[in-house]
Structure 1
Amino acid sequence: MTQAIEEPWGISVFGSGTVRAEPSLARVRPAVDVLEPSPELAFQRAGEAVTRLREVLRRHGVPDASVSGSRLGLSSEYGPHDGGRTLLGYRCQASYTVETEALDGLELLIADVVGAGAHRIDGVEFDVRDRPALLDEARRRAVAAARRKAQVYAEAADARLGPVLHIQDVESEPVAAFRVARSGGVPGALAPGAVEVSARVVLGFSLRH
């Protein structure tokens, strides 16, 4: 089965480019999560944990401006009991995002945060400060890859590649991919992998004979 080209005008090709870089910062997402028999006690215990958390972060040199978080939230917690449900207590939660450039001390920071009262770590992400520059380079590589592909097609068809007639950004907001690798010597030790930024593009060229 053949597919007809409705509007033949040249050649359209897809290209992708990826740039990898060593991370320059990390984002840690600790959360406070307490369950107590009364709302007052739940707020009190959660507030105490948040205060200890802030103190630990300051000792690690993390300024308040690098910590973003949610307000304390309160909800009733129920569990099954004899075919019905019974009130287990009141759950108070708050989550935070902590940004730090001290990657060498990241494991100690996480351990101290948990010791101060964070009940879980929802995630650890690595990033770079100058991501727009990486994205620009990824776009250049995507264009270069598309041009190479178009050149091969043109030569195979006994034609010459003309100027670019059309550029289409496949993803208007390319997303950085974060990879966390575990280091080889110490069990459970965090070692950041490369931060990858990718871009994709479709180029349209005219053809000359």
Structure 2
Amino acid sequence: MWQDVRIRQPWGVTASVKSAPDLARLKLAGNVTEKTPREAFEAGQAGVAGLRRVLRDHGIPDGRVSSSRLKLSSAYQYQDGVHKMVGCTCEAAFTVETGDLDGLQQLLIDVVDAGVNRVEGVEFDVTAKGELRAEARRAAVRAARAKAELYAEAAGVRLGEVVHIEDVNPDDPLPNERYRSHGAVSGHSDEDLAPGQIVVSAAVVLGFSLAGPRT
């Protein structure tokens, strides 16, 4: 007689899809040092305004720019064995998104010319990540069913209905402890790390009932 058996540690299956990036995310920062706080703030505000003009010239609207508030700190210089205050430093950090990947190099040159003195990172992404994630989830479910059918056949039983389905975020830095990946649909290759490819992954845990022995 077949009984319902609860699986305490179900195995999971991952799947990935690849796409060329259509979005770049730039993390930029700039600072300026002047003798007084007022002068530092004014110079910082002027630098922000100049950067905004450069971004608009590149067709980047203000809505694609997120910036921190201006940060003011004391500036010191080491002279004659002691640290002496020489003024105030005003700093601002920005995150800029652009879809013009062909013009990215010129954009970086222009923002540096406008006063940005730190390019902290350039990340590539895709705007259709939701659609790609859905495609990866469908592929993960297909792979999980195929694997379950293979195990059921090898065990001499028939696969029944789905009794458990659980979505797992493969990008979560603290994954669900119940999830153990039993392999990926797309095997690892050097192409996974090739520039110009964004990999969007999905993972799923499926549980099936067993319908009885094969006849």
User: How many residues in Structure 1 have an aligned counterpart in Structure 2?
Assistant: 190
Residue 145 of structure 1 deviates from its aligned partner by: 1.9
**Deviation of residue 65 (structure 1)?**
2.0
Q: Higher mean Cα deviation, 9-18 or 144-153?
A: 9-18
How much does 1:106 deviate?
A: 0.5
Q: Which amino acid is the alignment partner of residue 21 of structure 2?
A: P
TM-score by length of 2: 0.77
- Is 2:116 the counterpart of 1:118? yes
Structure 1 gaps, min length 5: 1-6, 182-191
Q: Which moved more, 1:11-20 or 1:64-73?
A: 11-20
Distance 2:160 2:169 in 1: 25
Gapped runs of 5+ residues in structure 2? 174-191
Residue 200 of structure 2 corresponds to: 197
**After superposition, what is the alpha-carbon deviation per residue over 1:151-170, rounded to whole angstroms, capped at 9, x for unaligned?**
22212211111111000112
2: distance between equivalents of 1:180 and 1:207? 40
Counterparts of 1:160 and 1:172, CA distance in 2 = 30
Decide whether the 8 Å contact of 1:125 with 1:180 is kept in 2: no
Structure 1, residues 68-103: CA drift from partner, whole Å, max 9, x if none? 212211123457778875435422111112111111
In structure 1, the residue corresponding to 2:109 is in which secondary structure?
Answer: helix
Listed as ranges, the matches of 1:28-177 within 5 Å are 28-77=26-75, 86-87=84-85, 89-171=87-169
**Which segment drifts farther, 96-105 or 27-36?**
27-36
TM-score relative to the length of structure 1: 0.79
State the distance in 2 between where 1:202 and 1:28 align. Answer: 36
Out of 5, 22, 39, the residue aligned to residue 8 of structure 1 is: 5
Root-mean-square deviation over aligned CA pairs? 2.7
The percentage of aligned residue pairs carrying the same residue is 49
The amino acid across from 1:30 in the alignment is L
Instruction: Verify the 8 A CA contact 1:13 1:149 in the aligned structure 2.
Output: no
